[in-house]
Amino acid sequence: MKTSKRSLLGLVALVLAVSVASQWWVGRHEQRLGGQVAALAQPGDIRMLSSETCAICTVARGWFNEHQVPFSECLIERDAQCRTDFDATRAPGTPVILVRGVPQLGFNPERLRLALQPPA
């Protein structure tokens, strides 16, 4: 079976279009989710226990700042109380994000949104 160049180009164009549309949709969802978390979060609601070597902490910090989500952060290597709070969670690593005092391991904006929503 012979495949023409035109068919191949059509397939490539279709794959590119689907990829661009998918990236647009994910970006749109991220923006909407960021706005929802920012609207729900009050100062003092979110505290991130982080580490100087934590790459996910850097991502989370950037996301909070980009979406203007109020949060506080401490470093377990520099702050004794932060280290004590981190040890109390028994988490295997950072970040630990405390949402109204309830620990969440890792960074997941959707999980943050759900934790910040008022009870039904």
Mean pLDDT to the nearest integer, 1-21: 64
What b/e string do you get for 81-106 counting C-beta neighbours within 10 Å, with b at 16 or more? ebeebbeeeeeeebbbbbbeeebbee
* Distinct helix (H) and strand (E) counts, the chain: 4, 4
The 10 Å Cβ neighbour count of residue 2 is 4
- CA dihedral 100→106→110→114, nearest 10 degrees, is -30
**Overall number of domains in the chain:** 1
Range of the domain at 25: 5-116
Residue-level pLDDT at 47: 99
The whole-model pTM stands at 0.74
- Contacting residues for 4 by C-beta, under 8 A, at least 6 apart: none
Domain containing residue 76: CATH number = 3.40.30.10
Residue-level pLDDT at 76: 98
